[in-house]
Amino acid sequence: MAIVTQSTSQISPANERVYHQSRLLGEWKGNWAGNNQAVGFKVVNIRGARAQVEYTHNGHTERGFGQVSGALITFGTITVGTKDGKSLVLLSSAGAGKQTANLEKQAPPASDNRLMGSWGGYSSDNGKSASFKVLAVNGKEAQVSVTTDGITRQGTGIVYNNVIMFGQSQISTKDGQNGTIIYQVGTKSFSVPVTKYPPADSSSSVDRTA
C-alpha cells in the first residue's frame, strides 16, 4: 500500500482528509442568481492558509490571494465553497445586498504540454518501478502526484520545457508518449523508462464516484 507523505507547501494531508480542499482547485463558471450575469472563479493553488485565485465579474478579472479556512476560501467580499468538487457556491457581501451564484467546475482546457497525463514504467536494469501523474499545468507550475518505492508524494512541480521537477524526482519526454523518470534516494539516482497511459474512455470507464 502506497504511503502518502506531505511534500512542498501545498495542501496538508490533514486538511485534505478533513476538508477535501483539493476539490476547490480548478476553474469554475456560472451566473449570479439575481441578474443571471456571468461570473467566474479560479483556484490556481492552495498553500496552507493561502490560495492563489482569480475572480471574474462584470467583464474584468481580479487576481490575488484568498484566505483558506477549512473548506472555504475568502477573497475580499467573496466566499466560495464546494461539497462535491463539481458545483461551487459563491457568496458576495459587497454593496447593499448579498448575492449568490452557483458555479460549475470546468473541464481543464486541452493542453499542448506533452507531459499532461499519467505515466508509469519499470526498469529491468535496477528493478525499480515508478509512476508520475501530471494533473494540471499552469505556466511554470504543475500539479503532480509521484510514486517511487511505494511512496506517493503530491504537490507543485516546476515546469521547464518538457521536464517537470518535483522534490527529488523529475520526468521528461520528447514525443509525449515515452519518457523517463529520474529520482534520487540519498546519494543514489535511479532512472525508470515510462510510457503515457491512454486517457480513460468516458463511454466505457467505470463511474467511481458512487
- In this structure, how many other beta carbons lie within 10 angstroms of the beta carbon of residue 121? 18
The pLDDT tens digits of the residues spanning 187-206 come to 899 999 999 988 654 333 34
pLDDT band of residue 34 (cuts 50, 70, 90) is confident
Beta-ladder partners of 46: 51
User: How confident is the model at residue 68, as a pLDDT?
Assistant: 96
Overall average pLDDT of the 51-70 stretch: 94
Q: What is the chain's mean pLDDT, rounded? A: 85
- Compute the distance between CA of residue 140 and CA of residue 55 in angstroms, rounded to an integer: 21
Q: What's the pTM?
A: 0.53
The answer on pLDDT for 50 being more than 80 is yes
| Under 8 Å between Cβ of 117 and 166 | no
- Residue 158 has which C-alpha cell? 516546476
Helix, strand or coil, per DSSP, at residue 170: strand
Q: What is the pLDDT of residue 200?
A: 56
Q: What is the pLDDT of residue 96?
A: 64
Tell me how far apart the alpha carbons of residues 209 and 202 are, in angstroms, rounded to a whole number: 13
Residues forming beta bridges with residue 72, ordered by sequence position: 69, 81
* Percent over 70 (pLDDT), the chain: 87
Q: What is the pLDDT of residues 94-146, one digit of tens each?
A: 776 789 999 999 876 555 578 889 999 999 999 999 999 998 888 788 999 99
Q: Exposed, middle or buried, 85 (CB in 10 Å: 0-12/13-18/19+)?
A: middle
Question: Which of 66, 40, 67 lies closest to 53, judged by CA?
Answer: 66
Q: 207 pLDDT exceeds 80?
A: no
Whether 53 and 40 have beta carbons less than 8 Å apart is answered as no
Tell me how far apart the alpha carbons of residues 101 and 29 are, in angstroms, rounded to a whole number.
Answer: 9
Question: Considering only 27-31, 83-87, 112-116, 156-160, which range has the smallest mean pLDDT?
Answer: 112-116
Please give the C-alpha separations between residue 129 and each of 4, 114, 121, 126, 142, in angstroms, as whole numbers: 17, 21, 6, 9, 22
Least Cα distance to 168 among 13, 8, 16, 22 occurs for 8
Q: What is the pLDDT of residue 104?
A: 95
* CA–CA distance, 25 with 21 (Å, rounded to integer): 8
Does 13 or 36 have the greater pLDDT score?
A: 36
pLDDT value for 206: 42
Work out the average pLDDT over 166-181. Answer: 90
Q: What is the mean pLDDT of residues 50-66?
A: 93
pLDDT for res 63: 95
Q: Which residue has the cell 492558509?
A: 49
| pLDDT band of 8, cuts 50, 70, 90 | very low
Among 88, 75, 112, 118, smallest CA distance to 21 is for 88
